[in-house]
A and B are shown apart, each in its own frame.
Chain A
Amino acid sequence: MTIDFGHPDRPNSYIGKTVPRPNAPRLVQGRGEYVDDMVLPRMLHVAFVRSPFAHARITGIDAAEAKAVPGVVRIFTGAEVAEVCTPWVGVLAHLQGLKSPPEYAIAVDRACWVGEPVAAVVATSRAAAEEGAALVEVDYDVLPVVADMMTALDDDTPVLHADLGDNLAFRRVNEQGDVDAAMAGAHKVVTAHFTTARHTGVTPEPRSILADWNPADERMTVWHSTQAPHMMQTALATHLDIAESRVRVICGDVGGSYGIKVHVYPDEVATAAIARIMGRPVKFIADRLESFSTDIHARDHEIEAKIAVDAEGRILAMDVDDWTAIGAYSVYPRTSAMEGNQVVNLCGGPYDFEHYRARTSVVFQNKTPTCQYRAVGHPIAVAITEGLVDMAAAELGMDPVEIRRRNLYADDAYPVTSPAKMRFEGLSHHKSLDLLLDLMDYDGLRAEQAELREKGVYRGIGIASFIELTNPSPFMYGIGGARISAQDGCTVRMDPDGSIVALSGVTEQGQGTEAMLSQVVAEGVGVAPGQVHVITGDTQVTPYGGGTWASRGAGIGGEAALRAARALRDSILEVAGAMLQSDAAGLDIRDGEVVDAKSGEARMPLEELGRIVYFRGDTLPQGLPRELVQTRHYITSEYPFAFTNGVQASYVEVDTDTGNVRLLKHWCVEDCGRIINPMLVDEQIRGGIVQGLGGALFEEIHYDEDGQLLNGSMADYLVPMAAEMPDMVIGHVETPTKESSLGAKGAGEAGTAGAPAAVMNAINDALRPMGAQVTHMPFTPERVLRALGTLKD
């Protein structure tokens, strides 16, 4: 029996409603359980000695002074840790040509970036471990540094990893049609150079791990602030040579992840290796400088891009040359080629045109490794695409809305395959744009803008359409050989008191996974959401799954939960049918009671059914199945990804004297398919938008030409704070995916994908009367003034 989601008054209609998150009351009372809150008997703390040089040979380590610090128990070099921990290589077979050298948990003879671990100090307190780490003397021979992205492949640039032959990690061209001919015959060709700055996630809770090896039963238990417990189980088991079944990863409360906590980090693996050697629990909590220098970075791209249009504003072709530098290693196991790969897959995404060429060049350098961070590649591809579309409109003297109308895929065009060979099952660009214009009162805003301009106030309106990749299949990682699960599972059981327990392989990072699952299971079985206890984040307990990444929790984890819940409902009704001597098909479960499906008349509470099944099974017919527990797994198979779409608008005021950009308001309409909990979706979008606004206006990791990190604190790396952020209006169009019964796609990254482009277009809309334009993020006052010509070198 399928659920008719079209009926808001259907029984148990929890899917589509705002219900509160079961874990929120705990968190507002300070009762969260983050890794650093945990204390175990005999627990030790580890602090790392890190390379102060971007590239150096390690010639000696003298730990004598560190050992003398009271509380210091032991000091480890890279070679000692390597005895129990094998190195890894961050490549995937389907990213053809991607190369990277073996990376050790602690550098063995060479450090390749500022912050790479070179030794570890273990002590009875964190303070003692840190004190010891400061006293370890490491001798280095400094080596030549590759710092600049665009010269990394030049002949006179040193090769970072000699064995690899050159500094090119990966290159891919995605091409369709005849771009050169289309450009040659076009009415107008617009070219621009875009720069997106190096960012990092700045998770409020730093990376945290507590690892315990119990030599008596040969089991490792790891409490880890992570997005992907099962992936970590595999990684730790593989590189520490422990059977996978003997590694348990537990993920409690996570204080923000945003893609930062889905990777294998050398210091975290080293912590587990040290626990293995010492047979005691060992805790590592990164400090803020370590977060800036060793959490993955992202988005460090330089792009030269062209768009060709005809006289009517129809897009004829796009040509994109993307460059990115990924630091010294491709990050394991998801690789650092994925972001560039996404850029060449996603450019031009909303538009119906023919000729497309996008090339990404991914190079090594002596900086912190980059990898997947919220909305991987999307903010870059959307900025390129939407920046070019606006510039083309300006060239043609056309309104930015009009050029989009002429080029967006028609809402009835689906299914369709884009020139970048992305397959779209069903999107709603035009409907979304209509709703956006309505919500923002586009014409009214344009009138206000014109009026204020007369008075010397420069306001701008920026629009950005986008697509977002969600619900990934094994095409993302699995086919490349990584043990990263695209499928996910859920076990749902009924306990004797009639309450429901749901165990899921997707994880809670604060986005509301557990609330979403409680609603889906509640509706699927027929109980109130408060009757469903959700358990996530424990590899020993939950079904095998992928965790949280690529906006997959609701679409994949939610579908598995719905199927398991429906199956449990059927099991319950089969038992109820036998007990009530009724046809199970004529019964239903509503609000925790078995009822007559037609009349709604109450027949039996679930707790009574539970009592009989668990304690008086003798009264039931022999051979009646007693399993009030069901597990279902779900994987997408028809499409490699479920694309969503949306459109954002930004309204800004640019102070042409100071270069300051004030965000006045922001709008987003997005289509994530079936919405399970409207408030949670809206807040995902708002949080995502602000993360994108940070990239547009503030965030930038700086290095000098020696590869030294220059801004490793929150005082120097600016993030969005409450005072500068605008209020945001969120609207929805719902085009459920037909692949699943739930119809949900992802919503976690849409905000971040489109916000920087919308702000860029708004600033440029404000600056256009002065002939100025910015394309280098973040759009700091200095860059705005340079664009205006007020500031000159």
Chain B
Amino acid sequence: MSDQFENRIDIALTVNGEPVEARVPAGQHLVDFLRLELGLTGAHASCEHGVCGACTLRVNGDAVRGCLMLAAQADGAEIWTVEGLSDSAAFTDLQEAFVARNALQCGFCTPGMLVAAEELLSAGGVPDRAEIREHLSGNYCRCTGYEAIVDAVETVARARAGEAAQ
């Protein structure tokens, strides 16, 4: 028991705009902390190896693998998950484009895919298809074959650029 206590670390962070304080096991990954302790099950654990991107979260503005980062490392961080990004309507246009283009099937990769795509989109401009593919090349999707995802991201990039130009 005492071991476990020594192995626990206090953290304070913001998750989806709300302050969170917690005592976490030193070895717990961020995605597990969010899923198990906060009930934020939108981000998924799939490879737990940094390869598939299913666990992708927004941490301090960057798309980060939740399975490669420890919860303890998130002390002081600002974290957004798909739940918070949905509630705050941060990328509703992207979500709608995914639905309209059927850029998801089972949906397991989707929360991570959206966070990764939004990182590219928020850089501005209209990336070409090869750039979109390159940016998403760390996000595994077994269902769609990727083309619909690339289409959806491209559509949103064009729409946002069009709006920006007006």
Contact = CB atoms under 8 A, between A and B. Distances in A.
Given A30-B43, A204-B52, A24 B99 contact: yes
A29 B104 CA distance: 12
A37 B34 CA distance: 11
A28 B143 contact: no
Given A679-B102, A725-B145, 19 more contacts: A24-B99, A27-B107, A28-B111, A29-B82, A30-B40, A32-B41, A34-B108, A253-B106, A512-B102, A686-B145, A687-B144, A687-B145, A688-B145, A690-B144, A690-B145, A690-B146, A714-B51, A721-B140, A727-B150
B142 A204 contact: yes
A721 B145 CA distance: 8
Nearest to B98: A28
A692 to B, nearest CB: 10
Contacts of A509: 105-106
A720 B140 CA distance: 8
B42 A715 contact: no
Main secondary structure of the interface of B (DSSP, over half): loop
Interface in B4-26: 4, 25
B147 interface: yes
Interface stretch (B58-66, B70-78, B129-137, B155-163): B129-137
Interface in A777-791: none
A714 B45 CA distance: 13
B133 A722 contact: yes
Given A30-B86, A256-B143, A725-B133, A683 B107 contact: no
Interface residues of B, number: 58
A725 B102 contact: no
28 contacts: A20-B99, A20-B100, A23-B107, A24-B107, A28-B114, A29-B42, A29-B95, A31-B83, A34-B41, A34-B44, A127-B28, A204-B109, A255-B44, A255-B106, A256-B143, A509-B106, A510-B143, A679-B102, A686-B144, A686-B148, A687-B142, A687-B143, A690-B144, A690-B146, A721-B138, A722-B149, A723-B130, A725-B146
A36 B45 CA distance: 9
A719 B110 contact: no
A70 B1 contact: yes
Contacts of A518: none
A683 B138 CA distance: 21
Nearest to B149: A722
A226 to B, nearest CB: 13
A708 B39 CA distance: 38
A99 B110 CA distance: 42
Interface string A8-52: 000000000000110111011111101011000000000000000
Interface in B108-138: 108-111, 114, 129-130, 132-134, 136-138
B14 to A, nearest CB: 18
Contact of B52 (A27, A31, A714): A714
Most buried by A among B48, B98, B105: B105
Contacts of B100: 20
A255 B112 CA distance: 13
B148 A683 contact: yes
Most buried by A among B83, B95, B107, B136: B107
A722 B136 contact: yes
B48 A288 contact: yes
Contacts of A258: 142
Contact of B137 (A127, A202, A287, A721): A721
A124 interface: no
Given A683-B148, A722-B139, A28 B104 contact: yes
A37 B107 CA distance: 14
A723 B144 contact: no
B47 interface: yes
A547 interface: no
A511 interface: yes
A555 B150 CA distance: 30
A648 to B, nearest CB: 13
B79 interface: no
B104 A24 contact: yes
Contacts of B149: 722
A253 B143 CA distance: 14
A509 B45 CA distance: 18
Interface string A449-476: 0000000000000000000000000000
B1 to A, nearest CB: 6
Given A204-B44, A288-B46, A723-B133, A512 B107 contact: no
A468 B49 CA distance: 36
A719 B142 contact: yes
B54 interface: yes
A680 interface: yes
B30 interface: no
Nearest to A685: B145
B139 to A, nearest CB: 7
B129 A204 contact: no
Contacts of B46: 204-206, 255, 288
A205 B44 CA distance: 8
A716 to B, nearest CB: 10
Nearest to B46: A204
The 7 nearest A-B residue pairs measured at CB: A30-B42, A27-B107, A510-B106, A255-B108, A510-B105, A30-B82, A690-B145
B105 A511 contact: yes
A720 B54 CA distance: 15
A127 B28 CA distance: 9
B54 to A, nearest CB: 6
Contact of A127 (B25, B81, B106, B139): B25
Interface in A229-282: 253-258
Contacts of B35: 36-37
Given A30-B82, A510-B107, A722 B150 contact: yes
Contacts of A202: 140, 142
Contacts of A205: 44, 46, 106, 108
Nearest to A201: B142
A294 to B, nearest CB: 16
A691 B142 contact: yes
A288 B47 contact: yes
A714 B49 contact: yes
B105 A288 contact: no
Contacts of A715: 49, 51
Contact of A27 (B40, B110, B129, B150): B110
B106 A204 contact: yes
A112 interface: no
Contacts of B133: 722-723, 725
Contacts of A721: 137-140, 146
A76 B85 CA distance: 43
A597 B6 CA distance: 77
B29 to A, nearest CB: 10
Contacts of B142: 201-204, 256, 258, 687, 691, 719
A145 interface: no
A689 interface: yes
Contacts of A727: 129, 147, 150
Given A689-B145, A719-B142, A256 B51 contact: no
Given A29-B42, A723-B134, A687 B25 contact: no
A728 interface: yes
A713 interface: yes
Contacts of B41: 30, 32, 34, 36-37
A85 B10 CA distance: 45
B104 to A, nearest CB: 6
Nearest to A71: B4
A202 B48 CA distance: 13
B107 A287 contact: no
A722 B137 contact: yes
Interface in A671-690: 679-680, 683, 686-690
Nearest to A18: B102
A451 to B, nearest CB: 23
Interface in A698-730: 713-715, 719-723, 725, 727-728
Interface string A190-232: 0000000000011111100000000000000000000000000
